[in-house]
Structure 1
Amino acid sequence: MRERLPHEIVASVLAGLTAFIGGNALHLPPWAIFISWAGTFLLGGPSLANAGKLWFAMPAGSTFALVIVVIENHAGGAFGDGQWARNTFQALVILVVNSALMYAGRLKALALIPGMFFGFASYFATYFGGFGHDPGNVWVAWLSVVAMNALGPVFAYLSTKLTFATADAPRSPVASETEPVQQA
């Protein structure tokens, strides 16, 4: 395939457009698009099947991260208020919830465990980064990151389609040595 527009330029223009998506009143995390955009290509490129895998796995991963944050926010001081006590409680919560995430990967719909970790990490970065129209709100952070992660496969698709690729032109046969060369 021959690209009429270089993929590097098309992808860069699309990447630039994320500033308008993130830089609005909703304060959405534009980098979350890049996480799932890259994930799409790690799966082999844009396709409905690959997008579907990410669209199931990433919100699931974000949900597991949301559970950790909710538990931490409501019971983080269960072992005491000291840093060691809080860290111990957090470690136990992560152990349990992360184990649940990994076991959930045994379900066919969630078998893309790296995709769940993309969503998991994206949620933490969104929540602790203060993204969303209501920074610090666990549910707004979840909605924001799920929406932005969902756009990644769309951007991956657009980054290939907007190159306006065409099939390679057929090559003209080379005259063999035994054929006479015609002169104009």
Structure 2
Amino acid sequence: MRERVPHEIAASVLAATTAFVGGTTLDLPPWAIFISWAGLHLMGPPSLANARRLWAAMPVGSAFALAIVLIDQHLAPHAGTGRWTQDALLAAVILVLNTALMYTGRLRATSLVPGMFLGFASYFATFFGGFGYHAGSVWAAWVSVVAMNALGPVYAYLAGRLTFATATPATDDDRGAVGKPAPSAAQAG
């Protein structure tokens, strides 16, 4: 395939559009698009099958992160005011829920554990970074990050399409020995 527009240009034009997606009054996290866009490429060439796996895994990871924040917010006032006790509580919550997340990776629908961790990290960055249509809301952060992570594979697909790739005619060098008789021992030697 020959790209009429270099992939670097097509991807950069799309990357520039994230300023408009995230720069709205909803204060969405545009970087969350890049996380899933890159995640899709880490799985190999972008494909619908890989996008579906990522779309299934990332919201689950974000949901586990949401649960960690909710449980910590609920229990933290009862753990005392010391930094060590607060950290110990958070560590215990992460230990339990991260273990559950890892076991969730044994299910076929959520078997893409790295994808769950991309969603997990994206949620924390969204919530603690103050992004989302209602900064400080655990639920607004979840909806915002899931929506933006969902756009990453779409951007990956569009980046490929915007190169306007065309099929290049195959040459004899490209074809190799396909369609030609194999050389005899005398010809090969």
The two structures have a TM-score, normalised by structure 2, of 0.89
Farther-moved stretch of structure 1 (67-76 vs 115-124): 67-76
In the aligned structure 2, how far is the partner of 1:87 from the partner of 1:21? 35
Distance 1:78 1:45 in 2: 49
**Which runs of 5 or more structure 1 residues have no equivalent in the other structure?**
174-184
What secondary structure is seen at the aligned counterpart in 2 of 1:72?
helix
Secondary structure (helix, strand or coil) at the match of 2:77 reads coil
Residue 171 of structure 1: CA displacement?
4.2
Deviates more, 1:92-101 or 1:161-170: 161-170
Q: Take 2:172 and 2:56, find their aligned partners in 1: how far apart are those partners? A: 48
1:77–1:85 contact (8 Å) kept in structure 2? no
Query: In structure 1, what residue type is equivalent to 2:80?
Result: G
AA at the equivalent of 2:57: A
User: Going by fraction, where is helix more abundant, 1 or 2?
Assistant: 2
Q: Which residue of structure 2 lines up, in the alignment, with residue 95 of structure 1?
A: 95
* TM-score (norm: length of structure 1): 0.91
Instruction: For 1:1-184, list aligned pairs within 5 A.
Output: 1-171=1-171
Counterpart code for 1:46: P
Asked whether the 8 Å contact 1:45–1:156 carries over to 2, the reply is no
Q: Which residue of 2 aligns with 1:178?
A: none
The alignment yields a C-alpha RMSD, in angstroms, of 1.2
Structure 2 gap ranges (5+): 174-189
SS for the counterpart of 1:77 is: helix
Contact 1:60 1:119 in 2 (8 A): yes
Which amino acid letter does the alignment assign opposite residue 2 of structure 1? R
Identity within the alignment, %: 65
Residue-pair matches, total: 173
Segment drifting more, 30-39 vs 43-52: 43-52
Secondary structure of the residue aligned to 2:79 is: coil
Amino acid in structure 2 at the alignment position of 1:141? A
For residue 136 of structure 2, what is the amino acid of its counterpart? G
Query: What amino acid is aligned across from residue 151 of structure 1 in structure 2?
Result: L
- Secondary structure, counterpart of 1:24 in structure 2: coil
